C-alpha cells in the first residue's frame, strides 16, 4: 500500500516573504533618500568652482545620519529574520495520504507518579492555546496504575485511571493542532468490508497516537453511518442518536427521529460539512448540559455494564473514556451514573460508544483499559488521533 504524506508550512513561509519584502522596500527607500541627500545639488554646482574651506574637525552630520540609517536597516533585517524564525510551523495530514506519519517513539513515556509531569503540562500549553487540561499533576490515579503520554508539536495525549463510585475510569485526553489529525478508520478502508480487527490492531495499522473503538457498525444495522462525507446507512433512525464529526473536528448531535432517512441524512451531511459519523449512543452531554435517558435501544442503559464514550472538551480537544471493573473494583455503572461522572469533566459534548467487550482505548498500539472477559472483540472501526509531524522528524 503506497503511503503519501504532505506536510506544509504556509504561514511561516508567508510571513517570511512579507517581512523580507517590507525590509527590502525600506532599504531601497533609504538608499534613494541618501543618494538624493548627498548628490541632489550636483547639477546646479558642477560648473562652479568649489570653495576652499578648512577641513572639518568633526564628522559631518550627514555621515552621522547615514550611520543611524545603516543601524536602523540592520536592526530591521535582524527583526525580520528573528520574526520569520519565531513563526510556529503549521503541519497537517494531506487528505490524499493513505496513512498519517509514524509517531516518534522517543516522545512516548509513562510514570506511576503524576507529580513528576509538570514539565508535560507546561510543554502542552502552547498547543492548548489557552484551553485547560483535565489532567493535572495532583490527580489521584487508580492504585498501581501508570500515566502514559505522548507529546510533539502537533499532539498531546495523556492516559490515566481514576476511581469513581467504585468503578475504574480510564481517561485518555487528546489535544491536536489540526482537524486532519482527527480520523476514523474502517476495516480495509471500505464500507461493508467483512474484515474485523481488534482496536489495538487497527491503532497500530493506522499509526495512531491514541485511539478508541468505534460504533462497530458491522455488528448492527442501527443508525446513520457516514464515512468520508458519504451516507452509507440510515436505518432505525427513530431509535438511535447520532454523533457527526465535521471537517473542523467538531461534534454535531442529532437525536433519534430528527433524521428520517438516507436522503435527509445526506442533506444534513452536506450542509454541515460532515466527515464521518458514529452510530450508537445515547448522547450524554450536549452543549455542556447533561442528558437523561429513561430508556434506549442499545447498551442496556439501566444495567451495570462496562461503558465507553467519546467527548469533545474544547476546540480540537477530546476525551476518550471507558468504565470497567478492575482489581478490587468489580462493579460497572448504568448509563446515568456514567453520564454523571463524565459531566464532572466539564465537556461540551459526550456520546456513548459500544462498551462491554468492544469498548477499548489504545495508545502506542497498547490496550489501556481492561475489557469484558479479558479480551478485545474484533470489530470494524476505530476513531483515532495522529501526529502531523513528518516521518523521521524529531520534533
| pLDDT tens digits for range 34-51 | 444 444 444 343 334 444
Cβ-Cβ contacts under 8 Å for 219 (sequence gap 6 or more): 354, 358, 379, 380
In a domain, 97, yes or no: no
Strand partners, 183: 384
Q: How many CB atoms lie within 10 A of CB 194?
A: 9
Q: Which residue has the higher pLDDT, 161 or 13?
A: 161
66 belongs to a structural domain: yes
161 & 61 share domain: no
pLDDT of residue 189 exceeding 50: yes
Average pLDDT over residues 333-343: 96
- Give residue 394's pLDDT: 65
Give the domain extent around 370. Answer: 105-385
pLDDT band, very low/low/confident/very high, at 25 (cuts 50, 70, 90)? very low
CA distances from 64 to 60, 61, 124, 190, 365 (A): 7, 5, 49, 73, 67
Residue 284 sits in the same domain as residue 378: yes
Measured distance between the N- and C-terminal CA atoms of the chain, rounded to whole angstroms: 26
Query: Omega before 282 cis (within 30°)?
Result: yes
Contact assessment for residue 377 and residue 214, using Cβ atoms and an 8 Å cutoff: no
Q: In the predicted model, is pLDDT for residue 272 greater than 50? A: yes
Question: Within this chain, do residues 131 and 24 fall inside the same structural domain, yes or no?
Answer: no
For residue 183, which of 98, 273, 284 has the smallest C-alpha distance? 98
pLDDT attached to residue 36: 41
Output the pLDDT for position 252. Answer: 98
> Which distant-in-sequence residues (6+ apart) come within 8 Å of 320 by Cβ?
171, 172, 174, 210, 212, 309, 310, 311, 361
Looking at the structure, tell me whether residues 120 and 33 fall in a common domain.
Answer: no
What 8-state DSSP symbol labels residue 379? B
**Is the pTM here over 0.85, yes or no?**
no
- Indicate if 111 and 78 belong to the same structural domain: no
pLDDT exceeds cutoff 70 at 258: yes
Position with higher pLDDT, 32 vs 268: 268
Same-domain check for residues 247 and 124: yes
- End residue of a domain, out of 39, 59, 86: 86
111 shares its domain with 79: no
Q: Find the mean pLDDT for residues 130-149.
A: 97
From 32, 53, 86, the end of a domain falls on 86
Q: How far is CA 127 from CA 151, 215, 311, in A?
A: 10, 29, 19
Total domains in the chain come to 2
pLDDT value of residue 373: 81
81 and 178 in a single domain? The answer is: no
Whether 390 is in a domain gets the answer no
C-alpha cell at 292: 437523561
CA within 13 Å, CB half, 301:
19
CB atoms within 10 A of CB 113: 10
Would you say residue 4 lies in a domain? Answer: no
Asked whether residue 149 falls in the same domain as residue 17, the answer is no
Q: Are residues 64 and 112 in the same domain?
A: no
Asked whether residue 236 is assigned to any structural domain, the reply reads: yes
Tell the burial category of 63 from Cβ atoms under 10 Å away from its Cβ (0-12, 13-18, 19+). exposed
Q: How confident is the model at residue 20 (pLDDT cuts 50, 70, 90)?
A: very low
Report the chain's mean pLDDT, rounded to a whole number: 85
* Residue range 238-253: mean pLDDT, rounded: 97
Q: How far is CA 247 from CA 14, 19, 73, 184, 229, in A?
A: 24, 32, 44, 12, 9
Q: For residue 238, what pLDDT is reported?
A: 92
Q: Which of 34, 56, 86 is the last residue of a domain?
A: 86
Would 196 be classed as within a structural domain? yes
Q: Same domain for 31 and 160? A: no
Q: Lowest mean pLDDT of 101-110, 118-127, 327-336, 359-368, name the range.
A: 327-336
Q: Are residues 66 and 114 in the same domain?
A: no
- In a domain? residue 393: no
Supply the pLDDT for residue 259. Answer: 96
- Asked if residue 284 belongs to a domain, the reply is yes
Amino acid at each position: 500500500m503506497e503511503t503519501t504524506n504532505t506536510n506544509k508550512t504556509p504561514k511561516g513561509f508567508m510571513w517570511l516573504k512579507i517581512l523580507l519584502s517590507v525590509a527590502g522596500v525600506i532599504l531601497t527607500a533609504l538608499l534613494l533618500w541618501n543618494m538624493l541627500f548627498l548628490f541632489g545639488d550636483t547639477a546646479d554646482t558642477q560648473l562652479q568652482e568649489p570653495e576652499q574651506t578648512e577641513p572639518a574637525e568633526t564628522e559631518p552630520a550627514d555621515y552621522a545620519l547615514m550611520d543611524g540609517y545603516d543601524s536602523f536597516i540592520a536592526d530591521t533585517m535582524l527583526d525580520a529574520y528573528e520574526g520569520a524564525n519565531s513563526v510556529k510551523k503549521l503541519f497537517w495530514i494531506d487528505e490524499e495520504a493513505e496513512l498519517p506519519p509514524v509517531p516518534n517513539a522517543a516522545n512516548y513515556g509513562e510514570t506511576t507518579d503524576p507529580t513528576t509531569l509538570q514539565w508535560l503540562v507546561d510543554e502542552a500549553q502552547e498547543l492548548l492555546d489557552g484551553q485547560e487540561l483535565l489532567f493535572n499533576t495532583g490527580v489521584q490515579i487508580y492504585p498501581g496504575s501508570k500515566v502514559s503520554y505522548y507529546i510533539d508539536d502537533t499532539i498531546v495525549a495523556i492516559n490515566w485511571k481514576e476511581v469513581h463510585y467504585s468503578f475504574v475510569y480510564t481517561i485518555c485526553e487528546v489535544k491536536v493542532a489540526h482537524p486532519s489529525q482527527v480520523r476514523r478508520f474502517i476495516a480495509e478502508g471500505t464500507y461493508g468490508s467483512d474484515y474485523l480487527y481488534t482496536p489495538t490492531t487497527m491503532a497500530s495499522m493506522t499509526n495512531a497516537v491514541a485511539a478508541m473503538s468505534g460504533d462497530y457498525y458491522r455488528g448492527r444495522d442501527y443508525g446513520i453511518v457516514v464515512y468520508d462525507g458519504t451516507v452509507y446507512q440510515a436505518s432505525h433512525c427513530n431509535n438511535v442518536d447520532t454523533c457527526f464529526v465535521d471537517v473542523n473536528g467538531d461534534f454535531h448531535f442529532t437525536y433519534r427521529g430528527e433524521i428520517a432517512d438516507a436522503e435527509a441524512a445526506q442533506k444534513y451531511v452536506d450542509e454541515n460539512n460532515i466527515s464521518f459519523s458514529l452510530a450508537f449512543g445515547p448522547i450524554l452531554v450536549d452543549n455542556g448540559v447533561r442528558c437523561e435517558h429513561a430508556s434506549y435501544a442499545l447498551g442496556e442503559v439501566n444495567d451495570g455494564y462496562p461503558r465507553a464514550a467519546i467527548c469533545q472538551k474544547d476546540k480540537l480537544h477530546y476525551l476518550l473514556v471507558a468504565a470497567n471493573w478492575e482489581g478490587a473494583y468489580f462493579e460497572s455503572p448504568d448509563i446515568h451514573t456514567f453520564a454523571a461522572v463524565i459531566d464532572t469533566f466539564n465537556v461540551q459534548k459526550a456520546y456513548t460508544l459500544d462498551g462491554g467487550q468492544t469498548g477499548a482505548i489504545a495508545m502506542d498500539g497498547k490496550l489501556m483499559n481492561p475489557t469484558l472477559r479479558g479480551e478485545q472483540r474484533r470489530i470494524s472501526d476505530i476513531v483515532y488521533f495522529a501526529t502531523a509531524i513528518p516521518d523521521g522528524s524529531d520534533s
